[in-house]
Amino acid sequence: MDLTIVPALSFLDLAWERLGIDPLDAGVRLVDAEQFAEQVSNGRGPLLVAQCWSQPLLSEIKLSSLYDGEGPVPEVVLLHHLGLEDEQVVRVGGGTSTARSGPIT
């Protein structure tokens, strides 16, 4: 059996490009949505939360105690199907709400 390994872009490469940030410079932490509470309990800074596959999981993250109600509401960017025809980048919070394409369903 012949096997050929073909390199491909990671979803992370697409995410950094869509967000317009250098993850190392910004100090971004990658966390798994299912391990959200444990992975963000000690530390501050921007997060990229991956594997948000259900509404209950997103709701749990939304209701977390990350935002203490002080100061401006932090911006949240929903990234959906990056690199595919139905890709969506939706920015919410931070005092604004803009969408690059239709709502995520």
C-alpha–C-alpha distance, residues 34 and 58, integer Å:
10
Residue closest to 105 by CA, chosen among 71, 57, 55: 55
C-alpha–C-alpha distance, residues 33 and 58, integer Å:
8
C-alpha–C-alpha distance, residues 92 and 99, integer Å:
8
Q: For each of the chain's 105 residues, which pLDDT tens digit applies?
A: 999 998 888 999 999 999 999 999 999 999 999 999 888 887 778 899 999 989 899 888 888 766 677 777 778 899 999 999 999 999 987 654 444 444 443
| pLDDT tens digit sequence for 87-101 | 999 998 765 444 444
